[in-house]
């Protein structure tokens, strides 16, 4: 399944466990010698929610949260009949997330709205080893990074993000992406969003994800970008913010309490593989 091009291989683990997911993610995510994807996602039983999501990047590292993947998890649970309701709760390493499914005329899930929780802006919690400003944040901070200077805004949406307002189309992301991901100021590595402001509440972004490289979309990255846009005066709080990615568009709203993300979830194919 994919969420606007951010594709993962999903495994139904509700009835049986999945062994060695780190190793399997590396092998299966290879687009030439495996199934191909940005990683794998395990849909597991949960004692505190309708299901638990575990996601592994293409390099085998486990991520805490993926906004595009969690929409697909919700779609699978409903469309397969595993859960027969349109309001779901999914356990992740970033806490329990609530989903609201929109069902199409064919009875299948078309779009999903996810309550992604409040953004984390304290640099110690993101984490980023920069001093907080007077508001306890890192916003438009001129910083030496990846061999140059950039104004960075740091946000965590369950995983760390570095947002830079620039022209994403002018960048050679394969060259500069790894340097951003592994910059010393980010002890847990970082996802970096390169963002162009098209208009008020209208953004275009490319993303370099830690552990996966450039992906067609990043849900938590779109949320972090929307929050950063508000903090930098490019968008308004409590209003819908359109974020255009390589694979499509997400709608983000930063309310007083939380960040809401709405977008599609798409099934590509189903099958069996011997692990």
Decide if 223 is catalytic: no
Contacts of 80 (CB under 8 A, 6+ apart): 12
Contacts of 46 (CB under 8 A, 6+ apart): 52, 90, 91
Number of Cβ within a 10 Å radius of residue 259: 24
Spot the catalytic one: 66, 72, 154, 223.
66
Spot the catalytic one: 72, 154, 162, 218.
218
Distance CA 260, CA 254 (A): 6
For 211, half-sphere exposure in the C-beta direction (CA atoms, 13 angstrom radius) is 25
Q: In whole angstroms, how large is the CA radius of gyration of the chain?
A: 18
Distance CA 113, CA 102 (A): 8
Decide if 154 is catalytic: no
Residue with tokens 């008020």: 200
In the chain, what are the helix, strand and coil shares in percent, each to the nearest 5? 15, 40, 45
Cβ–Cβ < 8 Å for 214, 206: yes
Q: Which residues are catalytic?
A: 66, 218
């Amino acid at each position: 399944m994919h969420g606007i091009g951010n594709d993962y291989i999903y495994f139904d683990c509700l009835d049986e466990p999945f062994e060695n997911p780190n190793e399997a993610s590396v092998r299966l995510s290879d687009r030439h010698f495996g199934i191909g994807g940005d990683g794998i996602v395990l849909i597991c039983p949960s004692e505190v929610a309708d299901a638990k999501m575990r996601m592994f990047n293409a390099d085998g590292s486990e991520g805490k949260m993926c906004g595009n993947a969690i929409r697909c998890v919700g779609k699978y649970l409903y469309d397969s009949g595993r859960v027969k309701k349109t309001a779901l709760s999914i356990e992740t390493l970033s806490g329990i997330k609530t989903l609201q499914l929109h069902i199409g005329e064919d009875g299948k899930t078309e779009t999903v709205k996810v309550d992604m929780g409040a953004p984390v802006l304290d640099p110690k919690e993101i984490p980023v080893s920069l001093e907080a400003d007077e508001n306890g944040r890192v916003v438009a901070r001129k910083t030496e990074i990846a061999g140059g200077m950039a104004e960075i805004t740091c946000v965590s949406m369950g995983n760390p993000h570095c947002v830079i307002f620039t022209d994403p189309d002018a960048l050679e992301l394969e060259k500069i992406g790894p340097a951003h991901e592994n910059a010393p100021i980010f002890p847990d590595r970082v996802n970096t969003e390169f963002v162009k402001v098209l208009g008020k509440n209208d953004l275009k972004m490319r993303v370099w994800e830690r552990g996966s490289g450039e992906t067609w979309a990043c849900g938590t990255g779109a949320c972090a970008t929307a929050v950063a846009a508000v903090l930098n005066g490019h968008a308004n709080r409590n209003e819908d913010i359109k974020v255009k990615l390589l694979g499509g568009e997400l709608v983000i709203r930063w309310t007083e309490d939380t960040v809401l993300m709405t977008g599609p979830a798409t099934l590509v194919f189903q099958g069996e593989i011997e692990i």
